[in-house]
Structure 1
Amino acid sequence: MLLLAACGGILPVPKAPSNLYNLSPKSNFDPGLPRVEWQLVIEEPVAAGGLDTARIAVRPSHLELGYFGDIRWTERAPKMVQTLLVESFENSGTIVAVGRQAIGLRADFSLKTEIREFQVENFGGGKIRVRINAKLIRQPRQIIVRSASFEAAVDDPPTENMEDSIRAWDEAMGTVLRDIVEWTIVEGQRAYGG
């Protein structure tokens, strides 16, 4: 018992992160986007193990991935990106129905995405980089009708204030969200026959 008690004394006590951050959905789109009558399911994005976390990633070099100490996203990055995509499509006002797989939507298309880059890069001048690969899939036959990659890089402000970096991250993510929504609506309508 004394040995167990002694071991318990040296185990670190997990502490709650001091700051949690989230990004905002996109709400401004090309006014010429068509209004579509088909339905879309947004699947949870796939991400490499290093990005499939609520920890905020930083790359000190091309070959190294680390994390900021005591700050986090409000949820795992893939789940957060899925939420941002759903809300951005809703904000576009162009699609009759959009949702997650879990709500049981009988969709005409599904959008599969993979998060390839989602980090601060502390080399080459310091950038926030977001890169997402997307595949638009016709249901129910699971046929890939279009695929594309979307990327944005924004200068990471040279300050110690994390909120400045999060604002830059929000700008980069907003660019990618807008591009994915507009591409999906246009390409989906072409594939749907409109």
Structure 2
Amino acid sequence: MIRFPRFAPLAALVLLAGCTAIGGPKQEVSIYAPETGIQADPAWPSVDWQLTIGAPDTHALLDSQRIAVRPTPDRLQTYKGARWADTAPEMVQLALVEAFEDSGRIQAVSRWGAGRGDFGLYSDLRAFETIYEGGTPKVVVEIQARLVKHRGSGGLVAARRFRTEVAPAGADIEPVVAAFGEALAGINADIVGWALVEGERSLSEPAEESAGK
């Protein structure tokens, strides 16, 4: 997995030269990693439990490094000559881990496989693409999140769908990538606050009540 410094420019750019055949023409591919840092909300609770975050499930096109664009509602394509640094689910998972760390409100957070926390955050990545409406692009990120308790009797704590739309400053790939960063940062902040509140609430309520949320 490619990791860029947290204080790198908003869109990190690497040019890769690849040959289609020996002696053939080289094609440059730009690799992007949007900045997704968040600011903690003073209203968020501080918690003493640990959280494990799984990589989101999604469909085949988003489960890749290709940057998706939907020019019409029924057509899903990708930007030519541009790639994400990781697959979209891996980017979302890493950004969520860093968002919880940046919040300063949780004892420990890790990706699934690196340990088992008191709670698990699992999700489906329903949209991570640029959509054109009336010739104007907008970046859409939509995540269906589920918070599950691992300690005690376990079970579902809460589930919620999060969606963020950001209009890029232009149709070129650079402002589009910047809009992805803004959208992902916004949706991550919403998920962090929601998970912290719901996790704390589940620990103070009877198991049968919290499981029904």
TM range (shorter): 0.7 to 0.9
1:165: how far off?
A: 1.3
The TM-score with structure 2 as length reference comes to 0.80
2:163 paired with 1:151: yes
Select 1:31's aligned residue among 24, 29, 42. Answer: 42
1:157: how far off?
A: 2.6
Q: Which amino acid aligns with 1:145?
A: V
Which 5+ residue runs of structure 2 have no aligned equivalent?
1-18, 206-213
1:123: how far off?
A: 2.5
**Residue 33 of structure 1: SS of its match in structure 2?**
coil
**Residue 95 of structure 1: SS of its match in structure 2?**
coil
* Greater helix fraction, Structure 1 or Structure 2: 1
Q: Partner residue of 2:133?
A: 123
Percent of residue pairs identical? 36
Contact kept in structure 2, 1:26 and 1:178, CA below 8 Å: no
- Over the aligned positions, Cα root-mean-square deviation in angstroms equals 2.0
**Which range moved further: 13-22 or 123-132?**
13-22
1:61 & 1:86 partners in 2: Cα distance?
33
2:58 & 2:31 partners in 1: Cα distance?
20
Select 1:114's aligned residue among 112, 124, 130. Answer: 124
Contact kept in structure 2, 1:43 and 1:101, CA below 8 Å: yes
Contact kept in structure 1, 2:64 and 2:87, CA below 8 Å: yes
Moved over 3 A (4+): 11-17
Structure number, greater radius of gyration: 1
Where does 1:170-181 land on structure 2 (aligned, <5 Å)? 170-181=181-192
2:70 & 2:189 partners in 1: Cα distance?
25
CA distance 1:191–1:157, shift in 2 (3 Å): same
